[in-house]
């Protein structure tokens, strides 16, 4: 159920193992839109290269998630990350190496900085096309225009899913195993309101806008254990992204936010900028008004942090007309941006004093200096960037074990039911909005699920043969 990277990896691996697979995809276009096509294509593991020693990757996953990650899932990703990439390479997927350590495996041709349909014939688009051709060559199928609407279990050893086409035709598919791989619930406002944001309509949808949690809700109806309030992977984008398509999915505003301060129109900070952009996006999403936030920096930060990576805003944001405010006078800057001057002035003074003294304990909220060092706001000109919280995929979803088997509310595997990719939970999220990596997670558990299904099918066949004899 779903033909993004998680579903296609699971399907191709299962077909390689001799199983007959049908992938149901709701999109009807040849290049159906999904997050995999929009991805920047970096296969990292907790911002580390997949080639790093597994023990170190495991440690980093736990650190990034403040030890919230399920240890079984974390071990699996750490141990299988590199091998999963090697499997993709064996199926014709190509990678290039970037300048940063965790850029060792980037899908080729790269889509690191793209707008509109710049993803076509690059990165994730090429990957999905390769996997589809491989699936077909192995005698299995990808059926488009098949939106799964229900799931049932008429017998203990089989599941039936119902799918509807855009023309209203209803099809039924029966199988001993079903893999849910339809992404998170980032485009479902009702579900987002249950822990992600009080005003989900004010979150920018930095995604394919195709994932509404349908598979998760079907799994829940069959007794699956789910979690909703684990946060999301996303970034701070220019608030102008709502009206300017050249400002999403990039540039990220995160490097500027972690250099300076992020304030509301009242001139006060609301979160620890040092934790990082994903954390800040989550904190902004939970705030009283997710559209009331500004990054404040000076020229030094604009030139240093504004160019820190290929998704950064300098000079792209200005080139495409992104709204921002600039002035040599803080008072004038505050007036232009609509920020209370006296409070902003006091906030900047506190920020600069903390940096000068090395004592951040008096800041409210406090400010950490690792992994993102703050920069003083002293130089001219000064900048104010209106920003929004942009959601890519949710960290909550269906609870699974390390083989992708869906777990019930009693923590037992539900026979025949699997879930992989962004529709699952347990690895990422928590209070720190810990991020491990959607591409590597999808690939690792897609492969693991296929292997487990093959094992179960083999055991079932042996049992049937023994019973017959």
List of domains in the chain: 5-229+395-468 (3.50.50.60), 232-391 (3.90.700.10)
Q: What is residue 308's predicted lDDT score, i.e. its pLDDT?
A: 86
DSSP string, 170-190: EEEEEES-EEE----STT-HH
C-alpha dist (Å) from residue 296 to 46, 274, 290 = 28, 14, 17
End-to-end CA distance of the chain: 36
Alpha carbon of residue 5 to chain centroid: 12
Bond prior to 371 in cis (omega within 30° of 0):
yes
Strand (E) or helix (H) holding 107? strand 106-107
CA-CA distance, 34 to 37, in Å (whole number)? 6
Please answer whether residues 391 and 186 qualify as being in contact, where contact means their C-beta atoms are separated by less than 8 angstroms: yes
Give the mean pLDDT of 262-289.
98
| 469 has pLDDT over 70 | no
- Read off the pLDDT band of 466 (50, 70, 90): low
pLDDT in tens, 18-45: 999 999 999 999 999 999 999 999 999 9
pLDDT in tens, 202-240: 999 999 999 999 999 999 999 999 999 999 999 999 999
Please answer whether residues 348 and 330 qualify as being in contact, where contact means their C-beta atoms are separated by less than 8 angstroms: yes
Q: What is residue 465's predicted lDDT score, i.e. its pLDDT?
A: 52
The more confident residue out of 115 and 282 is 282
pLDDT in tens, 368-412: 998 899 999 999 999 999 999 999 999 999 999 999 999 999 999
Please answer whether residues 424 and 69 qualify as being in contact, where contact means their C-beta atoms are separated by less than 8 angstroms: no
CA-CA distance, 234 to 249, in Å (whole number)? 10
Query: Mean pLDDT score of the chain, rounded to an integer?
Result: 95
Point out which residues pair with 238 in neighbouring strands.
387
The more confident residue out of 300 and 154 is 300
CA-CA distance, 209 to 191, in Å (whole number)? 14
Give the mean pLDDT of 50-67.
97
C-alpha dist (Å) from residue 384 to 207, 266, 276, 278, 378 = 26, 13, 18, 20, 14
Please answer whether residues 70 and 427 qualify as being in contact, where contact means their C-beta atoms are separated by less than 8 angstroms: yes
Angle between helix axes 71-90 and 54-64 (nearest 10 degrees) is: 120
Point out which residues pair with 66 in neighbouring strands.
none
Q: Centre a 10 Å sphere on the Cβ of residue 389 and count the other Cβ atoms it contains.
A: 28
- Read off the pLDDT band of 430 (50, 70, 90): confident
Q: What is residue 317's predicted lDDT score, i.e. its pLDDT?
A: 95
Give the mean pLDDT of 191-206.
97
C-alpha dist (Å) from residue 153 to 26, 116, 125, 405 = 22, 41, 34, 16
Please answer whether residues 248 and 237 qualify as being in contact, where contact means their C-beta atoms are separated by less than 8 angstroms: yes
Q: What is residue 450's predicted lDDT score, i.e. its pLDDT?
A: 98
CA-CA distance, 267 to 128, in Å (whole number)? 46
Instruction: Select from 428, 444, 429, 435 the least CA-distant residue to 50.
Output: 444
Q: pTM to 2 decimals?
A: 0.95
CA-CA distance, 53 to 70, in Å (whole number)? 19
Strand (E) or helix (H) holding 151? strand 147-155
Please answer whether residues 224 and 406 qualify as being in contact, where contact means their C-beta atoms are separated by less than 8 angstroms: yes
Please answer whether residues 275 and 368 qualify as being in contact, where contact means their C-beta atoms are separated by less than 8 angstroms: yes
CA-CA distance, 121 to 111, in Å (whole number)? 9
pLDDT in tens, 256-275: 999 999 999 999 999 999 99
Please answer whether residues 384 and 341 qualify as being in contact, where contact means their C-beta atoms are separated by less than 8 angstroms: no
Dihedral over Cα of 213, 217, 220, 226: its sign: positive
Count the residues in the chain.
469
């Amino acid at each position: 159920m779903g033909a993004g990277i998680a579903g296609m990896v699971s399907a191709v691996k299962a077909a390689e193992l001799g199983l007959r697979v049908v992938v149901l995809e709701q999109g009807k276009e040849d290049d159906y839109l999904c997050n995999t096509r929009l991805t920047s294509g970096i296969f990292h593991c907790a911002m580390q290269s997949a080639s790093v020693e597994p023990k170190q990757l495991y440690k980093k996953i736990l650190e990034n998630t403040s030890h919230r990650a399920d240890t079984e899932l974390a071990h699996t990703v750490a141990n299988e990350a590199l091998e999963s990439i090697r499997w993709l390479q064996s199926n014709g997927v190509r990678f290039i190496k970037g300048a940063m350590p965790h850029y060792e495996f980037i899908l080729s041709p790269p889509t690191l900085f793209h707008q509109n349909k710049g993803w076509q014939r690059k990165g994730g688009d090429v990957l999905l096309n390769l996997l589809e051709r491989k699936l077909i060559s192995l005698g299995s199928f990808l059926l488009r225009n098949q939106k799964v609407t229900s799931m049932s279990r008429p017998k203990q050893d089989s599941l039936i899913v119902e799918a509807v086409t855009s023309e209203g035709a209803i099809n039924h598919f029966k199988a001993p195993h079903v893999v849910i791989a339809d992404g998170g619930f980032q485009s479902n406002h009702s579900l987002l309101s249950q822990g992600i944001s009080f005003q989900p309509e004010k979150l920018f949808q930095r995604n394919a806008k195709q994932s509404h949690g349908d598979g998760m809700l079907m799994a829940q109806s069959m007794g699956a254990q789910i979690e909703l309030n684990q946060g999301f992977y996303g970034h701070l984008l220019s608030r102008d992204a709502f009206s300017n398509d050249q400002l999403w999915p990039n540039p990220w505003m995160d490097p500027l936010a972690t250099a300076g301060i992020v304030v509301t129109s009242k001139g006060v900070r609301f979160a620890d900028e040092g934790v990082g952009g994903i954390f800040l996006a989550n904190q902004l999403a939970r705030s009283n008004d997710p559209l009331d936030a500004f990054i404040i920096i000076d020229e030094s930060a604009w030139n240093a942090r504004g160019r820190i990576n290929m998704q950064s805003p300098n000079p792209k944001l200005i080139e495409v007309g992104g709204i921002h405010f600039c002035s040599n006078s803080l008072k004038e800057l505050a007036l232009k941006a609509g920020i209370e001057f006296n409070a902003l002035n006091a906030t900047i003074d506190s920020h600069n004093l903390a940096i000068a003294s090395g004592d951040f304990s008096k800041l409210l909220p406090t400010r950490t200096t690792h992994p993102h060092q703050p920069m003083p706001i002293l130089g001219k000109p000064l900048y104010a960037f209106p920003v929004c919280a942009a959601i890519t995929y949710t960290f909550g979803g269906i609870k699974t074990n390390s083989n992708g088997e869906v777990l019930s509310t009693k923590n037992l595997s539900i026979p025949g039911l699997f879930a992989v990719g962004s529709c699952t939970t347990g690895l990422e999220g928590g209070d720190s909005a810990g991020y491990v990596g959607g591409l590597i997670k999808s690939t690792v558990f897609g492969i693991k699920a296929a292997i487990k299904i093959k094992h179960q099918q083999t055991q079932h066949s042996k049992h049937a043969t023994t019973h017959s004899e």
